[in-house]
Structure 1
Amino acid sequence: MRRFSDDADFLTVYIKEAHADDGAWANLPTERFHVKNHKSLEDRNEAAKLLTDILPCPIYIDALDDEAARVYKAFPDKMIIIFGDQIKYTSSQIGPSGFDVDEMATCLEKILKS
């Protein structure tokens, strides 16, 4: 983000919680945030607020019907470059462990040069 901040806008869309305490991860010991499945937009908004100290970009929340996650096939998470009204890049693996930041940077460099 620091490298491209003069030329691109970055944002996070917080979608359905992948590791909800009252879901499949309920009985696993963890030091992560404790978030329950969202039953309202207020729940989702409160959960997204937990990320504001970690992510240095604006955070938006997906609708409760998970429209953005569905449209972009983003569950549990994806990196996407949208240029104009076209998707120019979608991470091939789910993240965060599957993300290839260098691949995404290369794609963004090509877009910015064109």
Structure 2
Amino acid sequence: MFKLDEFKQLVKDFSDIADFLVIYIAEAHSTDGWAFTNNIDINQHRTLEERLSAAQILVQKEPLCPVVVDEMNNVTAIKYGALPERLYVLQAGKVVYKGGMGPWGYSPLEVRSFLEKMK
């Protein structure tokens, strides 16, 4: 949730030309794993119910777009190389922008530049 405000602004500014979706995947910085200090207290998900519960924390932050949850076999995270987080732009079912891996490569500003060129 480090750059959630930047993401929310992106949704506000480009919702007229793009549909946004957040896919909640495995917890990258779980309390019982490799966690940052001052991080939200979330253990690694062992069940779908735990993952859904953790995703509700994000939903409460109102990301301004739908939030869905990856399956417990992490099929989406594996297919898109999304762990710990990554931004994509798809057009007509094809990936036209693939952002760097988060947290350091997670750049809503890069997506903003990309989408501005599509207007």
Asked if Structure 1 and Structure 2 have the same fold, meaning a TM-score greater than 0.5 normalized by the shorter chain, the answer is: yes
Cα distance, 1:65–1:2 mapped onto 2, change above 3 Å: same
Larger helix percent = 2
Question: Once superposed, what is the RMSD of the aligned Cα atoms?
Answer: 1.6
1:74-107 superposed Cα distances (whole Å, 9 cap, x missing partner): 000000001111001010x222432333321222
Q: How much has 1:7 moved relative to structure 2?
A: 1.5
Other-structure match for 1:102: 109
Other-structure match for 1:41: 48
1:57-90 superposed Cα distances (whole Å, 9 cap, x missing partner): 2110000000000000000000000111100101
Other-structure match for 2:31: 21
Other-structure match for 1:9: 19
Q: How much has 1:110 moved relative to structure 2?
A: 3.1
Q: How much has 1:52 moved relative to structure 2?
A: 1.2
Stretch of structure 1 that moved more, 56-65 or 103-112:
103-112
- Asked if the contact 2:21–2:66 (Cα under 8 Å) also holds between the matched residues in 1, the reply is yes
Q: How much has 1:48 moved relative to structure 2?
A: 0.3
Query: SS of 2:13's equivalent?
Result: coil
CA distance in 2 between partners of 1:33 and 1:56 (Å):
20
Which has the greater radius of gyration? 1
Identity, % of aligned positions: 34
Match of 1:86 among 75, 85, 94: 94
Q: Give the gaps of 5 or more residues in structure 2.
A: 1-10
Q: Give the gaps of 5 or more residues in structure 1.
A: none
Match of 2:64 among 32, 56, 60: 56
The one-letter code of the counterpart of 2:52 is: N
Report how many residues are paired.
Answer: 108
Q: How much has 1:14 moved relative to structure 2?
A: 0.5
